[in-house]
Amino acid sequence: MLDMPVMLLLVIIFALVFDFINGFHDTANAIATPVSTRAISPKVAILGSAFLNFCGALLGTGVAKTIGGDIVKSAAMVNANVLVAALIAAILWNLVTWWYGIPSSSSHALIGGLVGAVAAASGFGALSLAGIEKIFLSLIASPLIALVSGYLIMLALLWIFGRFAPSVLNRSFNKMQILSAAVMAFSHGSNDAQKAMGIITLALLSGGFIETFEVPTWVMFVCASSMALGTAAGGKKIIKTMGTNIFRMSPINGFAADLGAAMVISLATFFHLPVSTTHVISGSIMGVGSAKRVTAVRWTVAQNMLMAWVLTIPLSAAVGVLIYKVTLYL
């Protein structure tokens, strides 16, 4: 078996790879709506999103502490092999879904991989059921809240601006949509980048390199940088699914969807809750489309996405178990 410093290095490397893939896998979450409505070019949107992802990732560490402290009962029950297995499982799932253009959840993949690897290593008794329940509730409730938020925001905008000509609305909301997308990109970084921070910090704590679960500054910086670089690499396949296949949007629709999603993600980050930005923006888009008319939403696409979401946690957990068994021979 590889010694502890080598395994710790592998945890850090795979955590940064996960953040990088998360960046290009979830790029669409922040910029799909303004790109699909042609409010901004894909290149400018991706670079701007990368910068704002980086800034958002440095906002705090509350979500990192939830990921690292609420899934397992004690850091002593986790070793580097477990964390490597969890990260590889999440990375593999992200790559498969990215390749096929399926907007599944990186958060679900990481949590599923970690639950599976911990259970394989120490049994289900090592898992903190109360903490997992809290995380699962936030993952389930957040897209539903986003759907309602998107619906209500769109209704409010239609009530306020409905009397204006569509051409006037499109010109005005083209610019406003860039602002809402920027807020969405910042909130995405503030929640998603912290998940890898939590894994690295948990590895440092379980290995005895730090005494308390406090995310080191260097961990925050490297995770923020990795996600930003991944975001800059882009994710055009998922942009198409998120931006046009669910519901064909105009600028006012894109503004409402981004604003609703950003509000939900920011609120979750404030309460230190990990959420799936993919689920949240998808829920918000569906809510916005439903405010126009229910039949405007392509529910068959939504059903396919839901199926991928439902399968993510159990499949990534199963992969986590298998990868952990393999790491025992390293």
Bridge partners (DSSP) of residue 72 are: 127
Listed residue (301, 277, 105, 276) closest to 185, CA to CA? 277
pLDDT digit of tens for each residue in the chain (330 aa)? 455 588 899 999 999 999 998 887 766 666 766 776 677 777 787 888 889 989 999 988 999 999 998 999 988 889 999 999 999 999 998 888 777 766 678 888 999 999 999 999 999 999 999 999 999 999 889 989 999 999 999 999 989 887 777 777 777 887 788 888 899 889 989 999 899 999 999 999 998 899 999 999 999 999 999 998 888 876 555 454 444 455 567 788 888 988 999 999 999 999 999 998 888 888 898 898 888 777 667 777 667 667 767 788 899 999 999 999 998 876
What are the sequence ranges of the domains in the chain? Answer: 4-327
Bridge partners (DSSP) of residue 127 are: 72
One-character DSSP codes across 209-224: S-SS----HHHHHHHH
Question: What's the sign of the alpha-carbon dihedral 306, 135, 224, 47?
Answer: positive
Q: Are the beta carbons of 259 and 51 closer than 8 angstroms?
A: no
Upper half-sphere CA count for residue 35 (Cβ side, 13 Å): 26
- Please give the pLDDT value at position 114: 95
Could you give the angle at which helices 4-25 and 80-99 cross, rounded to 10 degrees? 20
Q: What is the spatial distance between Cα 86 and Cα 88, in angstroms, rounded to a whole number? A: 6
**In Å, how far are 92, 153, 194, 250, 295 from 282, measured between CA atoms?**
22, 15, 21, 16, 16
Q: Are the beta carbons of 184 and 29 closer than 8 angstroms?
A: yes
- Please give the pLDDT value at position 241: 46
DSSP H or E stretch at residue 262: helix 251-270
- Please give the pLDDT value at position 239: 52
Give 300-307's long-range contacts (Cβ < 8 A, gap of 24+). Answer: 301/241, 301/245, 301/246, 302/246, 304/102, 305/102, 305/103, 305/104, 305/241, 305/246
- Please give the pLDDT value at position 235: 54
- Please give the pLDDT value at position 1: 47
| Predicted structure pTM score | 0.87
**In Å, how far are 33, 40, 171, 182 from 37, measured between CA atoms?**
6, 8, 11, 15
Q: What is the spatial distance between Cα 220 and Cα 57, in angstroms, rounded to a whole number? A: 7
